[in-house]
Structure 1
Amino acid sequence: MKASSDECTSIRIEDQTDTDGVDEVSTRESGIFTTWKQCIAEMDIPGINKLLDKELLPTASELNGACSAFKRRSPIVARICGKICKEIKNVSEDITSTWAAYPYPCKSKDEECNVIFVVYTKQPKCPNICFRDFRIYQRGESEFSEESKTVVSLDITPHDEDNQLIDIENLQMIIENNADTLLDKHSNINAITSGIKKSVGYMQNHHIQKRVLCVVIYVHVKGLIPLEEDPFPSYIDKYPTDVLEGDVTLFNKGPFDYREHVIMGLAIKASNMNSYGTLGGFVMSDKYGVCALTCCHCLFNENEISQINSNGGNLPVDLQNCTTVYQACRQESKSFGTVAEVIHDEKMDVALINVIDRFPESGEFPETDLETGDSNPPEFYSGRIREPNDIQRGTDVFKFGISTNFTKGRFNLPSKLVVLNKRFRRRVFKGQIEVISTDGSFAKEGDSGALIFLTERKRTFCLGLIVAGFTDGTVLATPIGKILTALECPNRLMSFRPVNRLSGDSGVVEMEVDDD
């Protein structure tokens, strides 16, 4: 299968002065009368293992020679590179991980044997990492090129009718069917999803966007391939691949003023968690009465999530009615409810909180110093919801989350499939709404659980609940209608009577009354 040339990128490699010959002296001083050059020339694997056991490493040219002689996928080359990676990691406490790679595309087969060590650091601007004469490419853990952001910014035109979307369901089925194979063969994948435009020539100063459905593969570093792996295929089924730099983040983190009655957009946390999420909206449940919505991953740690997954995505007995939820604030936190139900599967990541104190009385959001550009602050009194399939691409939407507060974006796709590969744990998100940022970030860490809204004819509707987002600013949200159906709740959120003024949210004046 032909490899994807889209993995090409320009990279800067730290290339140190050659120290060929140093290890030959070291081996003699250690009483080992053999050299790396001899072992490579004679294909002497036991000899190489003895050198490695004595912590005697090859030079860069000797490593490349071993890679050429034994081939880059061989176990002995993997052991050599593993030893070097370990030594590189010990150079600085700023280094989080390192791995051996080769540049792609290659001008010749020999170029596959030019080993480069990719080094991830805690911060983007750490001092240059050097280790002997090895070639090192250094990158911050959260540092990515701007290509994917450029793609997103060019991805959407307001109210654009795109005939390609007719085929989007078939593309997502192809992605789902091929995701495990891709992840098994390629260890550097962060996420796989669908795209409606393919990026070409970004690093060659002739960047264009091809309007074509494609399989988008997100990696940390583009243009460098793990030494023991092949490049990505250029096509999967009939769809071209588009390799971009980026990652997906679950948005749990983040603020904080105490409220006597809880409202949408507050920072919330569970007693067992150090991170925060956003309180979404409220619903009247036949089982529990007044409840609040947020994301499951905001309230449960990794071990508890594993228990939930083992229980079919639902709360196991030992976690039922014992997870207390607090409003996280600058003063002492105070609880307002307990987790009644969760759903954690391919289609949603949601927690239903049974509110037992500080009941909501308002459809307002927290006050901020951020200018919204509107004459009235955002609010949501009616409880109305909308299905994403009814929304045109490019429609303006907004949300309120604890990290980015009030932000605007544009609705892009009604049903997105994303395959995540986080810390070697794979997860599939199906049927997610895709929203694109229009100015800055639409959502960041801490905004998980926030609701997304749109306004039509002066009426505000809830569209979905934020779950995660890409580093390029694209945000994923679960359709609110699917959440309410799965939780066996009414097909609307709670409504409230505006207090002492007409609401900008359609002027609703009666609770639970809506003729539309």
Structure 2
Amino acid sequence: MASVSRKRPGNGSGDMLPNKSRKPEKGDVYSSTDNLTKGTRVIVSVIESEKAIENEKYQCNGEKFTVVYKLWRENTVSDETEEFEVYGHEKIKEITKYLKENGDSIMKKHSNLEMIRASRFRIKRNKAKKKKAVSEPCIAIYCSYKGVVPVGEEAFPKEFDGFATDVREGFFHLHGNYDICANSKDQLDPLRMGASISRENGGDGHGTLGGFVQLNDGEIEFITCAHVLHSADEMLRNASNLQYPVVQPSVWYEGSQRCGNVFKSVFPSSAIVDGVSVDAAVVKLTNRIPRKALLADLTTARLKRLGFSRSLLPKFCCGKIRSGEESQDHSNEGVLKCGMVSGLTLGKLVEGEIFARYRNIALSDDQQRVSTTYMSQLVIRGIQNVPFSEKGDSGALVFQYSDLNDLRCIGMIVGGGGGLSFATPISSVLEALSVTLMDF
């Protein structure tokens, strides 16, 4: 809870949003402190999506609070350019020494202080109110939202014991495997959708960690295709009770380590749900359990090619799905998936379903070749002359979207042919495995 420290928030850190057609940017204020008098008590909510409720009110113990939303997106380029590096070296040493002695107490005194450091420049404004970085060593104070002060606390001072301060906005992020460019073939902790997986031993290949699900006991597990974790002979025999250790990345890559065990598998020759053949398995996790539904292999080059960026990423966290029929009703929307081999790709749903025969699964006891039919699979074509999926992407979840912050899962990649990709409708997969997609 905070109170307004001045009538105009942000000290220039962002605009109000009178023009709804303008693309939201970092620093935009949705329900702002504009027109609120100094000292007004508000609740500040820093968000990552522009889908906020404007002018929302919250009532507690008879008191009504205005909820102030701040759209936050991480800066990717530092303001510390080379032009400032030649100035103030001794002053920076003095400030650094001061912060070593007093930084902890300053942090405790100001609960909205995210970071504090010595900086070679300050942000100042000219007569036209335009910001400009000038060479002047100072203590840089980073908070989540300029313009408000936590109730019961004081505003940031203009100086600490003679050292000038400069209030900015920013957050501290750990740069472990939550970095968007985490490689699917690296050992990921926590696990991510699109990661490389395989059986620990005895398997015929490797594939993709599809998505995270819940069993009836509420534990977090993940799903993939059964043929990723079972041999052709096991699929022929419908050996659904075989429970193998699963590793990530797959045994084909360095750093392979157990992450769980096969819990339940269903095979296309026997698992038919609403006329759909299902080739799927659920893996019970033993470690590296995620708290978010993150994607692997979102390289900068790939994001740029697809028209995305670090601040415009596809997000799936709510567990929303569409049946095969519903997905056909939204065939005008875009389709995407993140696979272990081809990474993030875009496509379009092709009207109609496909029935495909997979030959030479295995030799039967009488040495006859056996085949099985994959019935009622979704058909997806790639765009920009790029295949939607490749060998090794089996298990990757497929999403429809009109808004990157509102992905709807429609299927799971199982194979392809004729330049097209095929996916099993997700509603049939979940029913066959008796699981639900995680709502993070």
TM-score, normalization: structure 1? 0.42
Please identify which structure carries the higher strand content. Answer: 2
Please identify which structure carries the higher helix content. Answer: 1
